[in-house]
Structure 1
Amino acid sequence: MTTDLAIVLAFLAAAIVMFALNRPRMDAVAVMIMVALPLTGIISVTEALAGFADPNVILIAALFVIGEGLVRTGVAQRLGDALVRRARGDETRLLVLLMVIVAGIGSVMSSTGVVAIFIPVVLRMARSAGTSPGQLMMPLSVAALVSGMTTLVATPPNLVVHAELIRHGFEGFGFFDFTPFGLPILGLAILYMMVARRWLSARHPVAVPSGRPRLADWVAQYDLAEREYRLRVRPGSPLVGRRLEGLDMRATSGVNIVAIERSSRIGERFVAATAATVLNDGDVLHLDLFAPTIDIDAVARRYHLERLPLGDQSLADRRQTIGMAEVMVPQTSTLIGKTVVEARFRTTYGLHVIGLKRGGTPHKGSVLDRHLGLGDTLLLIGPWKAIRRLQGESQDLFLLPLPIEVDAVMPAAARTPYALAVLAVVVVLMVGGVVPNVQAALFGCLLLGLFRCIDFNAAYRSIHWQSLVLIVGMLPFALALQRTGGVELAAGLLLDSVGRTNPHAVLAGLFVVTAGLGLFISNTATAVLMAPVALAAASDLGASPYPFAMVVALAASAAFMTPVSSPVNTLVMGPGRYTFRDFVRVGVPFTVLVMGVSVGLVPWLFPF
């Protein structure tokens, strides 16, 4: 072993220890590596920083942006809601649909982002099905990890291995080259989790106070559940073609139209109930009653309306478009002394007052004729866009903390068709090889911006800079190990330990080492280190590099064994109330199964 190799290995050992301890954080370690390695003289500063110009690093950043476009337009959220409806309370069907949908979405966007989106969806599904979230959170994380085995762009390790092939003069992997392995492993994962979920904790999660209200809290405080009704405008109704400001239903019938569902080409959508809104035949009106004595059936007969069940169509369940907020009347407000009607909330703010508190006690009955006083708290309902505009209102109303649900609101929900079209264009360009993958992804980012699915601020925020810096910082290690003979040494040790006559044993050895390293460092960093070793082992055997590279990529995604193996596992640990032992008990056997499938299937599709 040369002195240079000993120095590089010492740096590598130090980096692995810091990664395992997570002190300092991973991206800081990567920067330390970029600074330290050029000081040894083994690589130059330019080579240490070359990763910032690597097309695959730019591609990963662009894929983060495309994934954020899918989040902001609600593609993942809508699929989750459809999942709940399709499952119809059947736990087995719920598990299968959940894992299929999560793996499908994860094939084109960050698995960590997918899990973050689906955690609240799974919690809601568990409540609806009357089951513990612990029975579904682990299947969620497993499906998200398996999604990394389905397409070239599903996870950064795939792109790292792909880039290493190209760097060695080989043709890289195709977009769907991973799919023949990912789909069987996904099927195996579904069958396995049907059995393994019985080993998981059945305890329900402990609610952690957040300090912020929930929509459900306000529904209970203001007794809204007993006041909300849905009625459809029937043909021949006297409401058809009329503006809301001319109806005055609040004064004549004691009801307030707070939202309108209207059919469109992309399904049902909510229309703001403003003074200028014109009602159409077939509109579904969400009514708020000002007094429990109002006869809703009489209202329906009078206006020729059809009463509909509320079900999961309540305004609290349609939180993506309709929101609620509490505001306080400050001392400087010009609304003091005026009634709600005189304040013209619907005309001025585009919002409706549906509740009032004075001295912390909700007012029972109609709030329309109440004179507003200093310190009164009003509950408003309407579009989130109108609620956010209140943040700039400093004189008449003071906006109190918004509910937790505002964090999950999709700011570009109406742009879903455009986001799906852009995704289709990007996939076609990548699959067809019309342009390089990075160019196709950047083109997709520009289209998302053009169609207002995402803006520049959101695009920059969506990029996981820690992951990019980690990749860039680990690339010099691979170069330094190659230059000092470390890659050849590692490949030789691997071949000597498993034998040079059995390539299947070499694949198994690569899988074990890659998955083992993944217990301590990120799967991206593992792929950076192991991809050159895999290609060197293939060269020593005189075999094709593709089966060895593919096994490394699959093993890098097989981070099932501990809660720190992947951010995906860490995210579900709290909501599922899992222990370290839960991940070991479920993850280790499944990793062994995935290794068996990979070692058996990869040489069949990528011969030695």
Structure 2
Amino acid sequence: MFGITPEIWFVYGLILLAIILFVNKRISFDITSLILLAILVVSGILTPEEGLSGFSNPATVTIACMFILSEGLRQTGALDIVGDYFFELGKLNYRLAICIIMLVIGVISAFINNTAAVAIFIPVIISLSRDLDESPSKLLMPMSFAAMFGGVCTLIGTSTNLLVDSIARDNDLAGFGMFEFAPVGIIFFAAGFIYIFTMGMNLIPERRKDESLTDTFKMQSYLTDVILQPNSPFVDTPLKDTKLIQDLDLDIVEVFDTKGNTKQDRYSVNLQAKDVLRIRGSVKELNKLLNREDVLIKPSKHWEDKDFELGNAQLVEAVLAPESSFEGKKLQDLNLFHQYEAMVLAIRQKGKVQQEHLSEIRLQSGTSLLLYAKKERVNDIKTAEEFVLATEIEVPEYKTKKIPVALGIIAGVVGLAAFGILPIVATAICGVILMILSGCITNEEAYQSINWKVIFLLGGVLPLGIAMQKTGAAQVLVDVLITQLESLGPRAVLSAFFFLSMMLTNIISNNATAVLLAPIAIEAASSIGVNPTPMLVAVTLAASLSFMTPIGYQTNTMIFGPGQYTFTDFVKVGTPLNILFWIIGTFAIPYFWPF
């Protein structure tokens, strides 16, 4: 069949294994990529040099640099200033707010990491929706989609663009200019903008209500205060040594003295008679305290967020970030209290709120956690790569005097590459050096800003593309595809690649999709004797325009929890948009990149 050798079957088996592992997510995708790399080298399909080439690939280096450049700009507070400015404008009108959000996020996402921009704007939009008396879910999805619209407008707008550009150059093709994607990208942006305003807004449900965090996470029946009685054996005992809630699914959230003041170092300060202990747990577990004579349960009350903002702590909603190292781990194994001095009170996962047996829950990207944390540690949670904060907090001290410097560096990186003076990898490296030397970002912050899981994904997956071409596996798939579509012309082949890329990126990484399909697209163009560039553009753009699932693209994952969406919400809103873009791409791409 099409001259399939054992080596080709071996590569197909690896591709199938990769897809299964990417979809299953029991093994982190970066580890999956390294497993593939190791198998390819050990099996002899690739030489060690070929296997490790992904880590020295210009796309991998450039993407790492873009993480640092984006963080350097964020450290100056420039994005927060933009958010505050448009927050005030958005309060004037609901539709005006959506228009501003989409335009601003779209433009920002064309030049910096769009996940960084979305992370900044999530709490702003939730606050804005409260002022507009609208559900945040009506605003968060347009923001996420706009981030994707903007990302496909420039070479650096998304890592997929850089990745396919590098694959093109490795195959002796011209590659892409800084704004070469812009004509089609702007058409997609305009079409998506019109879709959201005419049809999309009616399809987006009002999921999240204007509620306090205690109501949003349904905590009313899961909190109570108990008073420590004078006869308690725990009087004059540090909280950490008490066994009051031993063997019960309960947590002591806070301790107050007789005057209602919080005890700052609550774990080491001795408990006293009449101290009030605020406890989280189910009614069933709390009722087990009724039989104790050494505590008195206070009458139930309606809990509000302000009840948790006494002293030096507050409630915040934190979303598990895409590619977080916490994904797949049990809550009890993370020890968040020791890392961030934060206690988890409830979890929203897969659209359901859970307040019981939290320690056994395995976390997923997009999961929302209700945290009770010390105020001085909230900013640590905000800046941690593991979380995206969905609650507005006091703005930390930014390096605002460095804003012109950071903007100048970004402009220089883009400008020098756009005019062909230097390749993008060179300008990006120079930009990183200048960001550090100018004080916009420290060495430590630079290293921490890089999403190493993405870097290892690229380093491990890129060799799989090399193996597909080296063994002839890509050519065999092309033969099958061409047999079915050649008679319909190159536009049909391009349309098929757009569709395949669009669908595959909904279940696996957009970068993995591009690596798998780009070599096949190049071979297909060669087989039918046409320019491979339009085929590559179809793969590139479709891989970054995934609207049908909350897991297809990072920004969708980030808003999934805060918007309280269901999986079907994305299917309902995103499917017509993906079909629209498929049709547009089929006709617009060959117009700008002729066969």
TM-score normalized by the length of structure 1: 0.68
Question: Is residue 104 from structure 1 mapped to residue 107 from structure 2 by the alignment?
Answer: yes
Report the equivalent of 2:92.
89
Question: Is residue 453 from structure 1 mapped to residue 456 from structure 2 by the alignment?
Answer: no
Match runs of 1:140-539 below 5 Å: 140-194=143-197, 195-205=199-209, 208=213, 401-402=375-376, 404=378, 407=382, 409=396, 411-539=398-526
1:469-503 CA deviation, whole Å, 9 max, x = no partner? 11111111111111111111122222222234411
Contact 1:64 1:462 in 2 (8 A): yes
Once residues 56 and 16 of structure 1 are traced to their aligned partners in structure 2, the CA distance between those partners, rounded to angstroms, is: 22
Once residues 411 and 84 of structure 1 are traced to their aligned partners in structure 2, the CA distance between those partners, rounded to angstroms, is: 19
Quote the offset at 1:54 in angstroms. 1.2
Moved over 4 A (4+): 205-210, 326-330, 377-380
Report the equivalent of 1:62.
65
Contact 2:522 2:535 in 1 (8 A): yes
* Distance 1:403-1:60 versus aligned 2 partners, 3 A rule: closer
Report the equivalent of 2:546.
559
Identity value in percent: 33
Quote the offset at 1:597 in angstroms. 1.2
Quote the offset at 1:2 in angstroms. 0.8
Contact 1:511 1:595 in 2 (8 A): yes
Question: Is residue 3 from structure 1 mapped to residue 6 from structure 2 by the alignment?
Answer: yes
Once residues 498 and 212 of structure 2 are traced to their aligned partners in structure 1, the CA distance between those partners, rounded to angstroms, is: 40
Quote the offset at 1:207 in angstroms. 5.0
Once residues 122 and 88 of structure 1 are traced to their aligned partners in structure 2, the CA distance between those partners, rounded to angstroms, is: 10
Quote the offset at 1:327 in angstroms. 10
AA partner of residue 61 (structure 2)? I
SS of 1:575's equivalent in the other structure is coil
1:556-599 CA deviation, whole Å, 9 max, x = no partner? 11111111111211110111111111000011110011111111
Once residues 491 and 311 of structure 2 are traced to their aligned partners in structure 1, the CA distance between those partners, rounded to angstroms, is: 70
Which stretches in structure 1 are left out of the alignment for 5+ residues? 211-325, 331-376, 381-398
AA partner of residue 124 (structure 1)? S
Structure 1 residue aligned with 2:129, among 123, 126, 137? Answer: 126
Once residues 131 and 516 of structure 1 are traced to their aligned partners in structure 2, the CA distance between those partners, rounded to angstroms, is: 32
SS of 1:520's equivalent in the other structure is coil
Quote the offset at 1:403 in angstroms. 6.7
Contact 1:71 1:410 in 2 (8 A): no
AA partner of residue 179 (structure 2)? F
Report the equivalent of 1:572.
559
* Distance 1:129-1:208 versus aligned 2 partners, 3 A rule: closer
Once residues 403 and 518 of structure 1 are traced to their aligned partners in structure 2, the CA distance between those partners, rounded to angstroms, is: 36
* Distance 1:410-1:115 versus aligned 2 partners, 3 A rule: farther
Report the equivalent of 1:135.
138
Contact 2:57 2:166 in 1 (8 A): no
Contact 1:72 1:410 in 2 (8 A): no
AA partner of residue 126 (structure 2)? L
Contact 2:475 2:523 in 1 (8 A): yes
Once residues 429 and 69 of structure 1 are traced to their aligned partners in structure 2, the CA distance between those partners, rounded to angstroms, is: 19
Quote the offset at 1:329 in angstroms. 10
TM-score normalized by the length of structure 2: 0.69
Which protein is bigger by CA-based radius of gyration?
1
AA partner of residue 92 (structure 1)? R
Give aligned pairs, total. Answer: 433
Quote the offset at 1:426 in angstroms. 1.0
Contact 2:91 2:128 in 1 (8 A): no
Once residues 554 and 168 of structure 2 are traced to their aligned partners in structure 1, the CA distance between those partners, rounded to angstroms, is: 27
AA partner of residue 570 (structure 1)? T
* Distance 1:500-1:492 versus aligned 2 partners, 3 A rule: farther
SS of 1:499's equivalent in the other structure is helix
Once residues 13 and 432 of structure 1 are traced to their aligned partners in structure 2, the CA distance between those partners, rounded to angstroms, is: 41
Question: Is residue 31 from structure 1 mapped to residue 18 from structure 2 by the alignment?
Answer: no
* Distance 1:88-1:329 versus aligned 2 partners, 3 A rule: closer
SS of 1:598's equivalent in the other structure is helix
Contact 1:192 1:590 in 2 (8 A): yes
Contact 1:490 1:533 in 2 (8 A): yes
Quote the offset at 1:427 in angstroms. 1.1
* Distance 1:576-1:410 versus aligned 2 partners, 3 A rule: farther
1:53-73 CA deviation, whole Å, 9 max, x = no partner? 112211110010000011111
Quote the offset at 1:5 in angstroms. 0.7
Once residues 465 and 537 of structure 1 are traced to their aligned partners in structure 2, the CA distance between those partners, rounded to angstroms, is: 33
Once residues 506 and 123 of structure 1 are traced to their aligned partners in structure 2, the CA distance between those partners, rounded to angstroms, is: 43
1:180-210 CA deviation, whole Å, 9 max, x = no partner? 1111111111111122122222132565569
1:311-351 CA deviation, whole Å, 9 max, x = no partner? xxxxxxxxxxxxxxx99699xxxxxxxxxxxxxxxxxxxxx
AA partner of residue 188 (structure 2)? I
Question: Is residue 587 from structure 1 mapped to residue 579 from structure 2 by the alignment?
Answer: no
Quote the offset at 1:413 in angstroms. 2.6
Quote the offset at 1:510 in angstroms. 0.3
Structure 1 residue aligned with 2:531, among 519, 523, 544? Answer: 544
Which stretches in structure 2 are left out of the alignment for 5+ residues? 216-261, 267-309, 314-372, 383-394
AA partner of residue 591 (structure 2)? W
Contact 2:77 2:403 in 1 (8 A): yes
SS of 1:57's equivalent in the other structure is helix
